[in-house]
Amino acid sequence: MITRIEIQREKLRNTIDIMLRNALRAFFSVCMNCGFCNNVCPVYRATKNPKYTPLRRVITAKKLLEGQIDKEAASDVLFSCLLCGACSSACPFGLDIYRIIYLARCKLALEGYGPSNFAKMAEGAAKTLHSFGVPVEQALREIRSDELEGFIDRKDCDVLYVPSPVETAFMPRHVYETASILKLLGINWTISRRVIDCGGNIGVDASRPDVGLKILLNLLNVAEELGVDKVALGACGADYKWISLSREIIDELGIDTPRITFTSIYELIAKRLKTNKLLKKKDEVVLHDPCSMTRYIRVDRSYKSIIPYAKKPRFSGACTLCCGGGGGLSLRKDSFARNLLLSIASKRVEQLGSVSSNIVTPCIKCYISFRTAVLRKRLVSKIRIEGLSSYIVKKLKEEDTY
């Protein structure tokens, strides 16, 4: 068990600086300025502003580390990044460009810079261990109790289900829909009163690894106490990014953690659906690939097997296009962020809608971004956006297996 979950901030800041310095050294020893990363960046494509290219962000990160740039100016450039990873996928050398940008954002955030509401968000998250500052008991009350009854804090189960804070704070329906699916399929699972977040939204989107690690290490403690060796993440892409990005930080800090395996809730569902041979009736739907579930942790194989008949959009898999809500853009309250999100989400909805008017996505953040675009563009009568868990529940009811 991890006996201390308080992270020494000064040690973390020094660790982030070392990681950033090493990453920058590796980048500039290889990069040949081909510009492939710039061409696929959704923010640059939407704004046409050269300061928002991946290469300019890396240069900004270098100046930040060397103390050669105003930190407010650096925040504007670095926190415009969606951390979608498209730049790294396009790089012919496979350079982790998004990782450099993320580490530079962490450096800024730990020094008190970044979007104005992120600091307050981190303060609340540190107290409640929920990225949006929602007390666990309050979040659980919002979820239909009948779906969770008998499954809270059970010991020695196969898996601990950890829904995303976006779901528990704003979309509790997605949690009880997922719970109902797990019950129906006979999966041996539990959910805990002590942890309903793995820290992705605060650790990645707000770039506060100190608070994100506090939440994540609490999760690992709870999993160990319950005798669970597998954690199933919910429907938010930020959590998948965090599991990927936090591993290196934990190793650099020298923190010993329990041997817990992270998986996706969709992997559990996909295996059991395959065994039970459910979802036989085909629909005309198009499936959106979230960037976090295809580039950070490969979850796409599992959720695609749930509805294998779904149509494939032009940009999918590692070449998918971001919904516009990643990297904390959906959490910001300024007009630049809101307009940028709407622009990127609308473009993706247009592309997906040209394939099918029924769009399904496994990511709750993509769902919210797309719904925002559909409502703002007055496309409700033409385009339907559905979360994957809602779609599965609907199909199981149609096939009289629910």
- Distance between CA atoms of 9 and 113, rounded to whole angstroms? 15
Residue 1 lies in a domain: no
At 258, phi and psi to the nearest 5?
-60, 155
Confidence (pLDDT) at 400: 65
* CB contact at 8 A, 265 and 235: yes
Confidence (pLDDT) at 385: 97
Confidence (pLDDT) at 184: 86
**Mean model confidence pLDDT for the chain:** 91
**Tokens at 281, concatenated:** 């009736």
The domain tally of the chain equals 3
Residue 338 lies in a domain: yes
Which residues, in sequence order, are bridge partners of residue 189? 159
Confidence grade of residue 277 (pLDDT, cut at 50, 70, 90): low
Confidence (pLDDT) at 5: 53
pLDDT digits (tens, 9 = 90+) for 297-340: 777 778 888 888 999 998 998 899 999 999 999 999 999 999 99
Same domain? 137 vs 263: yes
Answer with the one of 268, 303, 328 that is the final residue of a domain.
Answer: 268
Confidence (pLDDT) at 3: 43
Same domain? 127 vs 261: yes
User: Under DSSP, is residue 228 helix (H, G, I), strand (E, B) or coil?
Assistant: coil
Answer with the one of 110, 138, 170 that is the final residue of a domain.
Answer: 110
Same domain? 230 vs 329: no
Residue 345 lies in a domain: yes
CA of residue 201 relative to chain centroid, distance: 7
Same domain? 123 vs 167: yes
Same domain? 341 vs 300: yes
* CB contact at 8 A, 175 and 168: yes
pLDDT digits (tens, 9 = 90+) for 4-20: 456 788 999 999 999 99
Confidence (pLDDT) at 139: 77
Residue 2 lies in a domain: no
Question: Which alpha helices (H) appear in 41-111, and where do they start and end?
Answer: 42-47, 54-66, 71-78, 86-90, 97-110
3-state DSSP helix/strand/coil percent for the chain, to nearest 5?
55, 5, 35
Same domain? 227 vs 340: no
Which structural domain range is residue 239 located in? 118-268
At 284, phi and psi to the nearest 5?
-95, 100
Same domain? 228 vs 322: no
Same domain? 358 vs 385: yes
Same domain? 237 vs 165: yes
- Distance between CA atoms of 132 and 114, rounded to whole angstroms? 17
Confidence grade of residue 239 (pLDDT, cut at 50, 70, 90): very high
pLDDT digits (tens, 9 = 90+) for 165-215: 999 999 888 898 999 899 888 999 999 989 989 999 999 999 999 999 999
Q: Given a cut of 60, is residue 113 above it in pLDDT?
A: yes
Q: Name the least confident of 136-140, 277-281, 351-355.
A: 277-281
pTM, full prediction: 0.94
Same domain? 361 vs 320: yes
Percent of the chain with pLDDT over 90: 76
Residue 373 lies in a domain: yes
Same domain? 262 vs 175: yes
Residue 273 lies in a domain: no
Confidence (pLDDT) at 59: 97
Angle CA(83)–CA(85)–CA(86) in degrees, nearest 5? 120
Which of 122, 124, 38 is CA-nearest to residue 81?
A: 38
Residue 90 lies in a domain: yes
Answer with the one of 268, 290, 310 that is the final residue of a domain.
Answer: 268
For 207: left if phi > 0, alpha if psi spans -120 to 50, otherwise beta; the answer is: left
Strand order in the sheet with 384-387: 286-287, 358-361, 384-387
- Distance between CA atoms of 17 and 263, rounded to whole angstroms? 30
At 70, phi and psi to the nearest 5?
-65, 135
pLDDT digits (tens, 9 = 90+) for 262-271: 999 999 999 8
What type of residue sits at position 204?
V
Contacts of 154 (CB under 8 A, 6+ apart): 190, 226
For residue 6, what are the CA distances in angstroms to 86, 112, 212, 223? 33, 19, 11, 18
Q: Name the least confident of 119-128, 294-303, 322-331, 385-394.
A: 294-303
Confidence (pLDDT) at 395: 86
Q: Given a cut of 90, is residue 146 above it in pLDDT?
A: no
Long-range contacts of 111-117 (CB under 8 A, 24+ apart): 111/13, 111/71, 113/71, 113/72, 113/74, 113/75, 114/75, 114/79, 114/206, 114/207, 115/75, 115/79, 115/328, 115/331, 115/332, 115/333, 115/334, 115/337, 116/333, 116/334, 117/331, 117/332, 117/333
Confidence (pLDDT) at 77: 97
CA of residue 391 relative to chain centroid, distance: 20
Same domain? 251 vs 140: yes
Residue 141 lies in a domain: yes
* CATH number of domain containing 188: 3.40.50
